[in-house]
Amino acid sequence: MTQIRVRDAGMFLGVSDDTVRRWIEKGTLEAAADARGRTVIEGTEVARMARELAVTPELAGGARSSARNRFVGIVTNVVMDTVMAQVQLQCGPFRVVSLMSSEAARELGLEPGKIASAVIEAEPAAAPTGPSTPSTPEGAA
Listed residue (38, 53, 27) closest to 3, CA to CA: 38
* Model pLDDT for residues 14-43, shown as the tens digit of each residue: 889 999 999 999 999 999 999 999 999 998
Q: How many residues does the chain have?
A: 141
Average of per-residue pLDDT values in the chain:
82
Torsions phi, psi for 115 (to 5 deg): -85, 135
Cα torsion angle, 57, 59, 64, 65, sign: negative
Q: pTM (2 decimals)?
A: 0.51
Decide if 37 contacts 31 (C-beta within 8 A): no
* Model pLDDT for residues 65-90, shown as the tens digit of each residue: 555 677 888 888 999 999 999 999 88
Mean pLDDT on 107-122: 87
Decide if 69 contacts 83 (C-beta within 8 A): no
User: What pLDDT is stored for residue 127 in this prediction?
Assistant: 61
